[in-house]
Chains A and B, each alone.
Chain A
Amino acid sequence: MPRLQPSLFWRARRISPFATFLLRACRDLQSVKNELRWISEHVSQAAPAFSPRSFPYKTRMWQLCERRARGEPLQYILGTQPFGELDIRCRPGVLIPRWETEAYTLELSRILIDEISSEKKQPMRILDVCSGTGCIALQLYSQLQPSCPSLHVRGLDISQEAISLARENVVHNALVQNPGKQTIRFLHGNIFNPSDAVRDALYLSQQSDDTAKWDLIISNPPYVSNRSFSRDTTRSVRNFEPKLALVPNHTHNDTSEDIFYARLLDLSKTLRPKRMLFEVAGMEQALRVVRMIFLQQPSLSSPAMRTSEKGEAGKELHRDLYTVVQIWRDDPSVQQQHAARESEKDEVVTVEGREITVKGDGKVRSVYFVGGDSFNQFGWSSVTGRG
């Protein structure tokens, strides 16, 4: 870890005695100033009666800055993180929402709102697997609510703490529900080993409509490998956030960091969601996920597959079942601005012979799939039956 320059220390000193403390966690003056401002706003909001010169105010500032200096995330100290228009409550034990997640969630809700006009009559169903604080589900729900008269969002998480917090966040953000029309629910369960209740929810078994399908399955699953956990995560993440949320199957040492995607894609074979979006760690993982879906064995009982030839031809067909396959960077809505960008053309990568657009600016952050008509036509109901 690089040592702090002494001059930085003196300059922080001149800002405020608290600033030198924060320097340990922030390492540059601008973020020290920002965090100091956010902390003091928090303190004066919590106790508006105390002037900044008063003893109780200063004591409180010391306590919070000291916690921050020890590496505790600012979001746990302040208890919240803004996420789009929402204010998401955060607590130790549940992963803090990231800005990258916020960026693709907002981009996705813009896309959905644009596409709704043509699909409006249908109810819109969204599933957020590994929902944590509920940030993604809540954000989509609140963005889509005005343009979606029938909207059902479900979150699923293995952690009871996360589920409680997500439900708290529905109330904290005053999201209005309208039974039967607009609903958001969080379910406690394991995606690898769903209980009957979770299975019913996943397979939409309680729906009167036979053709009911997920319009979107979105997930920010644990994707950090064990090696990467000790090498690439910051101290504050390692020491303060739940490993369960970061490393797949964190109690075993040798499992792949891709197992959640494999499971989600396996489910998609029967669930046939219209769209899928998964957060990933970077380009390598994104390419692995895309390859995984292209090469996945199609479910043989589906009519399209039955008529097609097996082997290579089946693979081709599965690859082309998706009308859109994209890789998104951190800022999906922004034009790429790398110096490396030479031409006006979109950046593409080729996977299994298909060209895939890489959109946005920054590091690779998510993969996005939209199923074509032939994909959606054959739902799981024609394959497995219900129950």
Chain B
Amino acid sequence: MLTVAPWVCRSCVRSLKHAGVSQFLRRASTAAIPGGLPSSLLERARKITVEHDQLNAELATNFDEKIARRAGEIAKIATAFKDLEKARASLTELESLIQSDDEELRELATDDLASTTAELASLGRNLSLALTPKHPFADMHCLLEIRPGPGGTEGRFFADSLFHMYEKYCANKGYRTRVVKHEASDNDGHKGSDGEIALQEAVLEVLEPGAYQAFRGEAGMHRVQRVPVTEVKGRTHTSAVAIWVLPSFPETGGADMERDVENPESDFYIDPTEVRTETMRARGAGGQHVNKTESAIRLTHIPTGTTVSMQDSRSQSANRVSAWRILRSRIAQQRREAREELARSLRSSVLSQSQITRGDKIRTYNYQQDRCTDHRTGLDVHNIPNVMAGGEMLDKVMASVQTWLAERDVQAVLADEEAAEAAEGKQAVAK
């Protein structure tokens, strides 16, 4: 697995040249990049390709593991760049053939021109994907936090439906999961039409490397439109459920992970003196005098006011461990988001408008029309029962979001490059 480097942010992408390229990842995408590639991006790719060839030459005479690893890391960029260059060369050739006197040759060239231009676009996209930094949490496990929005029981029922949707989706995909928290709200014993309970809060942990990347597009408001079982007049209600996706550590983390938690530079580091722990205590003498299960625990991160309470397990120490895990994940996510926000504010306003923030609704589940719409990608799928059972329809929606995310990341990189280029240009003029 690649090492996680949470301190990498997209606005610093230019410095990655020196920092190593393990953060770069190529992703499959069908999105087109408007306006071609900025020259600085091409320049960077060219330099990396030169480095790659040099390293390979060195390796041919003298094998060194460190060099081999570095060469492996940047191989994708070099290949993508060479493919692009090849296509560009053939395009130039075709363009000169079109000037030819030979009519047959001219026709052949014109035929090829269209396909080569299309190929060029897709190779350009590949290259920019290869150069796009992977999300620093991408390889991690994740926590899906599910909370009903304000409003009545209907939202709470739907929160439980979403909980089961993700649980089943993971089962279908063969992902291991663990229910960290599943708490019913207190004022209702009714069940929904599918036997769902009125949920107050649930946390589902997906125990697969890369789960964070696979689910991060699920974060946001999910809206439901349906006729609740309790609705006598048959009116459709609209309610919302918030999903938060947090990075989490594998329980038996590798040495790297452990170091991150201990390392004050890490997003996951929490100074224990800044956390207030409250436990439920019997009023009396405790110890042998009392045998009631008092396992609830609440942690408060004082600087941010973030609180986590846990009482799912009969073991207080188990609840404490879970609460700490959730707290770390929430704080890491908050820190990450703050940095992303900063990077965003530096970018062009057009791009920042296309950003989705936490409060935005990202998807609607319309039961009457048997339709699920993702508002970012505009994708509509039918067959709500299949979606709610975590079937291939949900998979389709999530895949479209992955593409959208990749495209958005590429655009951010391009925007940053352009901004940096413009700044450099200005400096040059000033001199």
Contact = CB atoms under 8 A, between A and B. Distances in A.
A237 B186 contact: no
Interface string A27-48: 0011101110110000000000
Interface string A355-367: 0000001110100
B288 A246 contact: yes
A232 B285 contact: yes
Given A98-B291, A99-B295, A103-B316, A365 B286 contact: yes
B292 A233 contact: no
Contacts of B186: 11, 15, 29-30, 33
A223 B279 CA distance: 24
Interface in B263-287: 272-273, 276-279, 281-282, 284-287
B292 A236 contact: yes
A52 B304 CA distance: 42
Contacts of A34: 293, 295-296, 311
Looking at A15, A73, A99, the one whose CB has the most chain B CB atoms below 10 A away is: A99
B184 A33 contact: yes
A150 interface: no
B288 A95 contact: yes
A334 B275 CA distance: 10
A102 interface: yes
Interface in B111-132: none
A93 interface: no
Nearest to A35: B293
A363 B290 CA distance: 13
Contact of B289 (A15, A26, A35, A234): A234
B194 interface: no
A81 B288 contact: no
B311 A30 contact: yes
Interface in A215-230: 220, 222-224, 228
Contact of B318 (A82, A100, A330): A82
B287 A106 contact: no
A102 B272 contact: no
Interface in A175-231: 220, 222-224, 228
A56 to B, nearest CB: 18
B288 A75 contact: no
A75 B294 CA distance: 12
B187 interface: yes
B47 interface: no
14 contacts: A34-B295, A74-B314, A75-B291, A81-B293, A103-B316, A228-B289, A233-B290, A234-B290, A234-B292, A240-B291, A281-B289, A330-B279, A362-B286, A365-B287
The 8 closest A-B CB pairs, nearest first, are A82-B315, A99-B316, A233-B289, A15-B189, A232-B285, A232-B289, A73-B291, A334-B277
Given A82-B318, A236-B292, 11 more contacts: A31-B293, A34-B311, A74-B292, A74-B293, A98-B291, A99-B295, A99-B315, A234-B290, A237-B289, A331-B279, A363-B281
